[in-house]
Amino acid sequence: MRWVVLILLFFGAVINFADKSIVGLAAVPIMKEFNLTYAEWGLVGSSYYWLYPVTGIFGAAWADRLGAKKVLGFIMLTWTVLQFGVLAITALPLLILYRILLGAFEGPYSPIAYSHADKWFPPKLKGFANSVVVGGGTVGAMIVAPILVSLITIFGWKVAFAALGAASLVWFFLFQFLTKENQVEVYENVQKKKKQKLEKIKVKDFLLLLASPTAMFTTLAYFSTYILVVWFSVWLPIYLVEAVKMTPGQMGTSVAIIGVVSVCIYMGVSMASDHLFKKNQNWRSSRVFVVAGAMILGALFFSSIMIFQNPIWVIVAMCLAKGLTYAILPIGPTIMINEMQERGGLMTSILTSSGNLAGIIAPLLTGYIISLAGGNQLLGYNLSILFMAILVLAFGILFAIFVKPAGKLKNKSSDNFDLKSS
């Protein structure tokens, strides 16, 4: 059963990030239809995240109480309604309103999915399980890009958006009929303890936990990486067309290549982290140092495209930068959940929602920087790339220095259900 749950969470993430990134793939026709400036387009990209962090926290807390199955089903139905509603958009204000609402209802998905996957898998597979969920995001944002570009080119951007609404509806029925809410029996005692603890949490203690170096710098590292997530989603397609001079077809193919390779890289990093953790049970060496090293290398590769701007190297560097820096996305939730396991959904929502604040900043900042460069678009893109590379590098180093998770997982019984779950 747990593999069915994981596969569906993967495809849910595919839809989630396809919804998020399709606006970037449709940037050229949308900007042309509504006659938008770069600054206005930055506003469109940013608007998706205005409510995203807040609803992510409340939605995940709601799932901790009511169950992931019910909450995920509800939000997936809202995605369907909103994506079909795109057919009625006729002006910039309606486009912005649509993005605000879509972001609000998509905000809870990632933290709930991470927490739900974490409950079904033992410690030695947690990093892998979360990397599969994150991989769904990359598939949604990158690998389906050629399909979405074809739909946009042939049928128009509104029909492509509506197609994603249909996919959300199909996922809803599959998740409701093929999965169950509760985990395997051996894990039920842990769940009962969690439910009891839900009533006893003190706000002061929770705030102190969030202010701890481990929680704070994990969140900041996630935040810095998520600036790249947003840039890849909103600006990468335009960058490849305008700065690298690719055709729309070449852009779609390149985006897909970057997606495929990067998934392999950060899944490999996650599996290596799991392997080290299984051997030494040491969070610092197996989780923190592995992720920090990957972030630092990724930032260096990302910055290299300012110097070596050959299209082939740009794709190679993007693959390495995305794959390595994204290592924090599957491992970060595991670290946060370990800090307060009875509130796994809430802890991951704090992490992802705080990181998603970058979604508000990054599109506006990138649009502003490009506009400052005047007619020199390449210079504008390079300055934004330099800023993001420095940010990831700095927080990767701080992550390595200050994040010191508890040495052992607190719920030992989670090791036992590996053999009994199916």
Terminal C-alpha separation, the chain: 5
Q: Tokens at residue 190, please?
A: 């842990």
319 burial (CB, 10 Å; 0-12 / 13-18 / 19+) is buried
Helix, strand, coil content of the chain in percent (nearest 5)? 85, 0, 15
Q: Tokens at residue 181, please?
A: 């809410």
Q: Which long-range contacts (CB under 8 A, 24 or more apart) does 371-379 make?
A: 371/37, 371/38, 371/39, 377/242, 377/243, 378/243, 378/309
284 burial (CB, 10 Å; 0-12 / 13-18 / 19+) is middle
- Close Cβ partners of 203 (under 8 Å, ≥ 6 residues apart): none
Cα 205–330–239 angle (5° rounding)? 115
Q: Which residues of the chain have pLDDT under 50?
A: 185-190, 194, 197, 408-422
Q: Are 162 and 83 in contact (CB under 8 A)?
A: yes
Q: Tokens at residue 302, please?
A: 């990302």
* Structure confidence at residue 141 (pLDDT): 61
- Residue identified by tokens 């508890």 is 406
* Structure confidence at residue 28 (pLDDT): 84
Q: Are 119 and 67 in contact (CB under 8 A)?
A: no
pLDDT in tens, 376-387: 878 888 888 998
Q: Tokens at residue 110, please?
A: 């990632």
* Structure confidence at residue 55 (pLDDT): 87
Residue ranges of the alpha helices (H) in 281-405?
283, 289-304, 311-325, 328-339, 344-372, 377-402
The DSSP code for 418 is: G
* Structure confidence at residue 199 (pLDDT): 52
Cα 324–328–333 angle (5° rounding)? 155
pTM: 0.69
Of 94, 96, 99, 62, nearest in space to 79 by CA:
99
* Structure confidence at residue 421 (pLDDT): 40
CA distance 222 to 200: 29
- Residue identified by tokens 């604040």 is 357
CA distance 129 to 180: 18
pLDDT in tens, 33-85: 999 887 788 888 878 878 877 888 888 888 878 888 899 999 999 999 999 99
Give the three-state DSSP class for 210. Answer: helix
* Structure confidence at residue 342 (pLDDT): 67
Give the CA diameter of the chain. 63
Q: Are 230 and 387 in contact (CB under 8 A)?
A: no
